[in-house]
Structures are given as structure tokens and as C-alpha cells.
Structure 1
Amino acid sequence: MRIFEQMESQVRSYIRAFPAIFATAEGAKLTDDHGNEYIDFFAGAGTLNYGHNNPMVSEALIEYIKGNGVIHGLDLATTAKRDFLETFYSTIMQPRHMEYKVQFTGPTGTNAVETALKIARMVKRRSNVISFTNGFHGLTMGSVAVTGNAFYRDESFINRTNVSFMPFDGYLGPEVNTAEYLRKFLDDYSSGVDLPAAIILETVQAEGGINVASDEWLREVEQICRAYDILLIVDDIQVGNGRTGTFFSFESSGISPDIITLSKSIGGGLPLAMVLLRPELDQWRPGEHTGTFRGNNLAFVAATKLFSYWQGTDMTEAVAYREKIVRERLGEIAAKYPQIEATVRGKGMINGLKIPAQNFCSEVSREAFERGLIIELAGANDDVLKLLPPLIIEEEVLRAGLDIIDEAIGAVLEKKENLITGNGSDY
């Protein structure tokens, strides 16, 4: 690992949690340069919903490159973009009766969020935006302004005006309807909260700790937006693309966002970000919001192939089947170790095990890595083990990974007990 320590910035992160040099990857597994195999419950932070090196993608990319397909094209028309748009419309939008303009932004999720915020403010001619506690929307200037976690905000020295934070669903406990709380602030001209151009939210706060908004709450927030002429932006970057079981995470609620941001798995592991906006909001002048890498032709090729998973209901049913396995097994683990006071949370194939003891989840993640499982953390205090495996993970691999979580928790508890009783000195 010496070359990484010597050459790479201190900002590197996941390499510290998972200190191996990975050489190959396939499906839900990674293999390091010593041949050690790891089950991947991280999936590129939600970028690899369809697994590492999905064969459909690999074959299509090889064919496209061998045919000298256009790799970089700014926003020129290419066959790859044409095929993507046609397939996205016929497979995703048309069956859901959705009519949106598609805007390709710079290649990452934060680029999509920046674009959404910019167009919302421009159209509504208002500067304020409402975001929610524990929300995560990216780390460029506009995106981090609507991100709640102080870890990302404290030293960025940005202008934090023009953003108001409200409590997310459940933040004040089950007895408080935070949608009504929001409405009260908007009703009161002395609340200090300016009428916003937009409200931005995640239906499931992933980095924020796997906080799931109820369908009822989402509908109430949408009703508030309509009543006060506010645009509703749904950030579906991590929990869209089938992660919750439906292609868009908000489908079960029946809401119709004004703007949707997509990235991560939309490109099948390759950089791609896009904004869906209601046609009347598409008020850009040509070239008014650009980027050298807006639209990635290789990602278009990959995505077009992967949309085949959404022809019919097979993918939704597959996610529901795997969700049942995960939730039941996590429930068993929580019951097996009552002393850790674990609670299960999540939806579809984004699930978490919240364990309140300080640093316990970090220790479990390290122990799991030693046993061949990659699993990251979530929540402001890193107190949630975050399960984010590929949607197409094989059942036996999924169960094996869940078993490792069980073993890792047991091992951490045993080390703690040994430390207390003096039976061990290596912890």
C-alpha cells in the first residue's frame, strides 16, 4: 500500500476502511492481488446495482469500442445517446406515464444536484431551498449547502445562506408529523424561513442512516409544494435505479416530483448523471449550463443494455425476495445479541442495522472485512451498518455475507468481554 500513502491525498477514505489492493471483480465479489475473495455489500456506494463487470455491459462495451464508437462527444448527437434515450423512454418513462425532459450534466451525482438547484432558483426567481436533517446531496458548493452532516460542512467555508433545514420524517419521534411542522413554518411570515424555490429530499436517506420516509409523509410534502408553488426535487441518486424495488424510489407513494436527479447505477458503473425535469421547467438557453463530460457515451451503451432488467416485473420481484431474506436475517441477528440494542431499518435492498454503542459498527466493519465482507457505515455517528449489495446478488452469496455480519458482531463482543475479564490482551 506504500505507493498510495506516498502519492495519494490524505482525503482518501474507503481505502483506509478496506486496506487491500483489488485486482478483479465479478458480480457481487471482489478479489485482491493475493487472491483473497470478498463479498461486496458496498457496491460502489450504490453504483453497482447490477454487479461488477455485468457480462451484458462488458460485451456491449467491447463491441462498441471495437467498432470505433464515439467515446467523447460533448452534447453532440451520437448513436449511443440516441439508443439510450429511446430505450429509457420506452422502458422506464412510458410505462410509468412520465413526461420529463432529460438533461445530461457533469458525470457525478453532485453535478446533477447543482443543476437541479440552479434551474429551480432560476425558474421560481427565489433563492431559498429547503432541505432536511441528515440529508446528503453531494460535496460541491451548492450540494454541500443542502447536506446536513457537519463532517462535510464545518470546514468548507461556503456561503450557507439560502438554505433552510427542516426535520425529516421521524426525526422528532413518531408522535410528531414533521410535514405539518414544515407547513407551520411556511404559514408563519415571522418564522424566519423564506418561501423556497424548491424542497429537496431523499425518500430514503442513505448516508444519513437509512432513514425511510413514509409514503404518507412524501404525499404530504408534495401537497405542501403544490399549495405554496414550490418545486419538489427528489434526489434518487443512490436509492433510485431499482434500489428500493421499483426503478424510482418514490413510485409506491404516487408522488410526481418536478425534478429528479439520477446518477450512480444509471451508468452501470461508468460515470453518468442526469436530471429529469418537467418540460415547462426546461427554460435553459442553449449552452447556459454546460460541462465537458456531460453525457458519457460508454455509460449510454452500458445503461441501454441494463434497462432490459426493467422489462416486466422480474427485477421488482427479485428485489422483494432478497429484501425478505435480508430483513429476516438482520432481525435474527438483532435478537441473538440483545446487548447491542440493534434495530433493523431499510427498504428494498438498502438496509441497515443501527447499533447505538460508540464505534461498535466500525469495529464490526473491520472484523467483517477480515472475514471477507465489505460493508460500510452510515449515519451522522457511523452507528449504522449499511447493507448495499448488488440487486442481482446470488442468494447463497447474500446469505454468506449476512452470516459474516453475525460472526463479526459475535467476535467484537467476545473481544470486549475478554478485555473486561482480562482473558485477552490483543484488543
Structure 2
Amino acid sequence: MGVVGRPRSRVRERAFWRARLEGLEHEAACALVGVSQHRGWRWVREVGGMVPDLREPKGRYLSLAEQEEISRGLAADLSYAEIGRRIGRDRSTVKREVDRNHVTRERRGAHGGARTPAGPPRPYRRVDARQARRDAYRAGPARHKADQRARRPKPTKFSGHPELVTEVQQGLELHWSPEQIAAELRVRFPDRPEMWVSHETIYQELYVQGRGSLRRELHRCLRTGRALRRPRAFTRRSGRLHIPPEIMISERPAEARDRAVPGHWEGDLILGAANGSAIGTLVERSTRFVLLLHLPERHDAAAVRDAMVPAIRALPAGLRRSLAWDQGSEMARHHEIRIAADLPIYFCDPHSPWQRGSNENTNGLLRQYFPKGSDLSVHTADDLAAVAAELNGRPRKTLQWRSPARALDQLLSGPPITGVATTP
């Protein structure tokens, strides 16, 4: 007899999503909660990449016993506040329960059948709507309505509306955004509310698995082309460092701006195919001298630290004034680099590559040797040293046709370099 699988644990699923929101990668989050990566990806697909409700379900829904207490309280003409105190709920919870789940009964004739138009009309009597809902609430029918409302999946606006499905699909095939499609439908069908749909409903239909009204491949028509929605919380948390103000690039010594004093560096990574491999680049602002960091296996924070520290420590103390880097996660251990290499590190503002102009220009030159989309892990440390030597030996117009190697050699053979910046 086969092994009976364990039921899906909502506790583990919530713990998985909390770990993802804290910045853990998929593999690490799955390992933390003790599930396979396959199950983790299944949880992601089931919600279309959107973060589900992570609140604990304890006490969230009214039980049948609580609904019976509400029914008895209404029969005794108690207020919502008093009923709420008796069952330990807020008065607004009781009111919403009555408004949602009261049962509207059809007026009946004398023999129990539906009343016919024949016969004299009854005198008109104004009935208070609030009192009518209180009188029409019963625990049994209320439980049935709540259970029906909680069933999943729910039918969507697209269910049974092929005309609406066709209109939305045609808009997506024209590469219109869901918001543009929703606005156009209201303009074209002003008197047909059944043809109106919000842009969020279109996104839900594309992303959430199991709907089936819109073709799954239509997600390629969106701007991003994503098959899963990426929550904003991931974008805010993952790949971003907490940078204190004192190490932002605006605090870098003013002498680094005019390139008159050597020893100020700019750094970055150039990435290979599918971001699976990388090479670290360091460029000295004054001489444009290049150092390449060998990252054969990975390019996380630990690997970048282990490659950068010996490269920087091999430089004379006068050439270790500062390093500017972007806010990538590969510099998460910048404190360790700063201490081990005795090198002040400053971070650029987000989306500001011009603040590392020398490095950006050098990375463009390096693409002649390391094309985009190639596997950078196949290059050995000797290969990188040969490429760096070739670049450093190339005459540069900005250096009055001196090479970076010659310019650096002139600096090292001249008077000692003074005024080394202190570590912030």
C-alpha cells in the first residue's frame, strides 16, 4: 500500500511566504520550512505569484454556535453591541453577519403558495430595512450562505461571457495594457455593464491558475511578459542593502570628483548568460587602471569579498582611498571588505550609473572580450589577467595617449602619495 501523503500545512505555507518577504531566495525559504522546492513552486503558481493573506485564521470566521447566539440575541431584541459582548466579537462583526446572511423570504399566499396578483392589495406599511434584516436572520440558512460564499474557485466576470473574453483577448493581442482595455470597454459599451471589467480582474484571469477563460500564453503580450506576478514586497526587499547615509557617494571625499588624486576606485560586476556567471571589475578613476576579479563558481557577497580583499590589499596604501559601488546584493558584506582591505566604500544612488562613469565605460570595453549572453565561468584567472593587461597597455586619449599602466607606473615612481583618506 502506498504511503499516504501529508495534508498541506497552511502553517508551513505562511512561513514560506514570510521567509520570501524577508528577502530569502526560493531554495532557502523551502529549506527553512522543510518542504521541497517543487512544493514551494506549486504554492507560488497557485496564487499567481501574489502574496496570500498571511494572517492566522484562528477566530477569523464565525462558528455555527456563534451564529446561533446571534439568532437568539436578535429574537430577544438585543442590540448588536450586546450580542457582540456575549460572543466576544465586535459589534460591527455582528452587523456585517446579519446584513450578509439574512434570508429574504418571498411573500406567501394563504395556502403557502406564492401570492398571485389577484385579490385586494394590502394596505401599504413602511417597513424599516434594518429591522427586516434582523427579523430575517436564522443561524441555519446563514451558515449555508456563508459556506456557499467561501467555496473556491469563484466564478469570475469572464465565466459565461464569451463576448467579453473575445474583446479582452483582442486587446491583449494588440499589446494593450489591461488598464487600457478596461477603459476602452467602458467607452465602447456605455450601456452594457456586463461588458465592463477592471484591469485587476484581467490580471487575475491571466495570472491565477485554474481560471481558463483567457489563454495562458496571452501573458506574453503584457509589457513585462511575466507568467507570474512579482509582488512589490519582493522588489522592495530582495537585492537591496540597507545603506546608512554616511557611506553614500555624496559623502565621498571631494578630491575624487576631479580625478586629480589617484586611489579612488569604481567597481561593478559584468554578468554572463542568465546571470549565472560574473566577473568583478575595478577601475581606478585617475589612471583608468583595471583589475578583474575571478569569480569562477558564484558571485554572491561572500565570493565577491574573498576575491576583492586580496586584490585590494596588493595595492600600495596610497592607492586605497575609496571604492564606489552600486547597491547590489553582492556587496552585502561591505563592512568586512572595508575592514580587511582598509578601504572606505561608498554606494551610488539607485539607478544612477553615471556616478560610476569610468567603470561603466570600462565594462563596455570588456564586452569585446566577454560578450553578453556568454558563460563567463569558462575563463580562468590567467585569462582575466591577460585581458586586464591588454586593456591597461592600450593608449587612452583621456590620458594624453598614455596607457593606464604607464600612468600608474609614473604615479608609483614619483613622489610618495599623501593624504590617504580615513575609513568612515
TM-score calculated relative to the size of structure 2: 0.20
Please report the TM-score for the alignment, with normalisation by the length of structure 1.
Answer: 0.20
Q: Which has the larger radius of gyration?
A: 2
Kindly indicate which of the two structures has a greater share of residues assigned to helix: 2
Which of the two has greater strand per residue?
A: 1
